[in-house]
Amino acid sequence: MKKYKITGLILIAFLFIVSCDNEDWLERDPKNIITDEQLWNDPQLIQSLLANYYDRLPSMHGVFNSGGMTEIDDAMWSGHFDQNWRNDFQYGNDYGRYWDYTFIRDINLALDNLNEFSTEIDANQKSLFTAELRFIRAFVYFEMVKRMGGVPLVTEQLVYDFNGDPEYLQVPRAKEYEVYDFIYNELEEIKDSLEGNNGSQTRANTFTALALESRAMLYAASIAKYNNLMDTPITLSGEEVGIPVEKADDYYEKSLTASQTILESGGYSLYNENPDKKVNFYEMLMSKNNSEVIFAKDFETSLKTHFFAFENMPRSITEDNEYPSNLTPSLNLVESFKYLDGSDGDLNITGTDGQPIVYDNLTDIFENKDARLYGTVIYPGTNFKSVPVDIQAGVADWGDSGYEFFAAQDLGARYEDGGLWTGYDGPQNNAQFVTNTGFYIRKFLSEASGASLRGVASENWWPWFRLGEIYLNAAEAAFELNQAGVAKNYINTLRERAGFPANSLENITIDDIRGERRVELAFEDHRFFDMKRWRIAHEIWDGNENNENAVVYGLYPYRIVRPGHPDNNKYIFTKIRPTRFRRARLFRLANYYSSIDQAVLNNNPKLIRNPFH
């Protein structure tokens, strides 16, 4: 017994002595935590962190936000009734509020860490990553300034030192133009460091920085100019809101210079692959890696998808079993596309005698329209995915002396003469999941198999910047700088791609440029901000039920039933105001700058409220 005890003791003592020696064996890297040193010295890991930050780039009605797109005058909501508030609301004081200092802090933290821990990666690579982070930060500040006005400029981490006085962490709001200047200076500083990404369309490169510069400077310039043309300019005494008018020209010049650099040396070109101009415009946003898109948010089946096609596919074509046809474009938008002969875009619905004009085919009323109309909107008589979209509201039965309109309860029903009564795709008034305006969206709507199926979904990308916008930015800036000739050439180039003849405009006005912007960039998250920076949003969307611009209208086609008459089976159209569209758009002066959240104001007493809030 004694022998065993002693042996045991010796063994234990021995183990102690041996194991104590080997400290390396206990020292192990955790398998579930990546340390700062590991992260910031591994280009692969830094890239996946950047992917997260690129994914978080903010937008308002953009990145396939079907709901947001139906909240202005370009479209209305035809989806589920429980979201009909989108057709029945006024912009609240917080509409468009964006105050994302969580993201700003994440970027600042990443910049600090990159600076501190990255010792082993290539210097060029390090400066490229730094520049990309600063680009993202400038992008976020731009989103904030265009919605909130001047915001606190925080460019480093705010760390509390527990001294009892947090006052040094309370950063006041910068002046509105200081934020724009910050964006400009940042982009100017980093644009050369971004050269390593040139050629990429999903990571920021030199021309992406210039594209952001072109847009941001144009916004600053137009606020400087148009705010001060208002009878009562919107300003705060500390200039947190409102830019002095004398800065306008400088900003316009900066924007024009940036735009022209992209146009001249960017290596981009307007997409012009398909001789059919109509299809060409649609393909421009759908085919990836084309020469027009400067910067995009990419999607890929099985990896990262979006539901734009699921949400907005015409009712009869959708592959899924519920919730199609949410976003339906308005007649107002359709009419803003001009005719190719240069005349105004109003559709000829009734003749001079007050009688509806009879058309042989459904598409005839849209004949000779700007080719971009086809690329943006699915209108009656056209195809999608090579299948006809069945848009017909009902029949116009000629009784004894005039038309009587009948619409079927069931979509696709046959009328008593055996012909189609109401199409499988409506339009149907006051119904859900079928268009209420007579139109569907084509832009961004993927034709790929399974794109409208929830399990597969869409993989077409979202264009943050494309050359078409740069042409428009350049034209606007040039026009404001009294270079109407230069502006005219840019606009005419863009119009040629849309099917207009060469040099289609001889004289150019600011309204031409604004009209082009609306049709070229429809649904690309521009219109709301364009209306704001031109300071006309409160006049266009004035809440007046009799104002054609503030109300969303629809266009309903009817098949004529008049046996024995030459008009039989031809079509007439009526303009209607959809029942579901309840309230004219109302944009108040208070909406030019969103209110700051009360909790934010409580935390930082140095913040000034925005005007009217």
Partner 1 sequence: MKKYIKIILFVFVITFTSCEKDNFDAPNALLKGQINYEGTPISVRSNSAEFELWQDGYALDEFIPVFIAQDGSYSVSLFDGEYKMVRKGGDPWLPQLNDTINIQVNGNTQYDVTVTPYFYIQNENFENVGNTINATFQINKVVEESNLQAINIVLGKSKLIDQNINDFSEEINLDQINLGSPSTVSIDIPDNLIGLEFLYIRIGVDSSSSNELIYTNVQRIDL
Residues in touch with partner 1 (CB under 8 A): 231-232, 538-539, 542-546, 583-584, 586, 588-590, 598, 601-602, 605, 611-612
What torsion do the CA atoms of 444, 446, 447, 449 make, to the nearest 10 degrees?
A: 180
Q: Residues 492, 358: contact at Cβ < 8 Å? A: no
Nearer to partner 1, 515 or 543 (CB): 543
What is the DSSP code string of 199-215? Answer: T-SSS--HHHHHHHHHH
In this complex, which beta carbon is closest to partner 1, that of residue 91 or of residue 271? 91
* Shortest Å distance, C-beta 179 to partner 1: 22
Between CA 455 and CA 457 the distance in angstroms is: 6
- What is the smallest separation between the CB atom of 229 and partner 1, expressed in angstroms? 11
What is the C-alpha separation between 613 and 593, in angstroms, rounded?
9
323 beta partners = none
Residue 34 to residues 31, 42, 340, 359: CA-CA distances in angstroms? 8, 11, 60, 68
CB of 98 to partner 1, least distance (A): 21
Token code pair at residue 501: 């003849």
Q: Are 608 and 171 in contact (CB under 8 A)?
A: no
Task: Provide the residue type at 384 as one letter.
Answer: F
β-bridge mates for residue 586, sequence order:
542
Cβ at position 143, least distance to partner 1 in Å: 24
Q: Give least dist CB 169 to partner 1, A.
A: 18
Q: Which residues contact 243 (CB under 8 A, 6 or more apart)?
A: 176, 177, 180, 220, 223, 224, 227
Residue 36 or 539 having the CB closest to partner 1: 539
What is d(CA 556, CA 325) in angstroms, rounded to the nearest whole number?
Answer: 16
Of 512, 511, 503, 513, which is closest to residue 471 (Cα–Cα)? 513
Nearest approach, Cβ of residue 354 and partner 1 (Å): 15
Which is it for strands 394-398 and 554-561: parallel, antiparallel or unpaired?
parallel
Q: Which is nearer to partner 1, 306 or 585 (CB)?
A: 585
Query: What is the C-alpha to C-alpha distance for residues 474 and 467, in angstroms, rounded to an integer?
Result: 10
Given the structure tokens 């050269």, which residue do they identify?
A: 195
CB of 498 to partner 1, least distance (A): 34
The rounded distance, in Å, linking the Cα atoms of 203 and 214 is 18
Non-local CB neighbours of 414 within 8 Å, separated by 6+ positions: 420, 421
Report the length, in residues, of the chain.
613
SS (HEC) of 442-492: CCCCCCCCCCCCCCCCECCCEEEEEHHHHHHHHHHHHHHCCCHHHHHHHHH
Residue closer to partner 1, measured from CB, 247 or 588 = 588
Least Å distance between CB 243 and partner 1? Answer: 18
Q: Which is nearer to partner 1, 172 or 345 (CB)?
A: 172
Structure tokens at 248: 């306008």
Residue 338 tokens read as: 């001009």
CA separation for the pair 257, 304 (Å, rounded): 36
Q: How far is CA 535 from CA 27, 251, 256, 525, 592, in A?
A: 64, 17, 21, 17, 8
CA angle 382, 527, 607 (to 5 degrees): 150
H helix count then E strand count, the chain: 20, 12
Q: Of 290 and 332, which has the nearer Cβ to partner 1?
A: 332
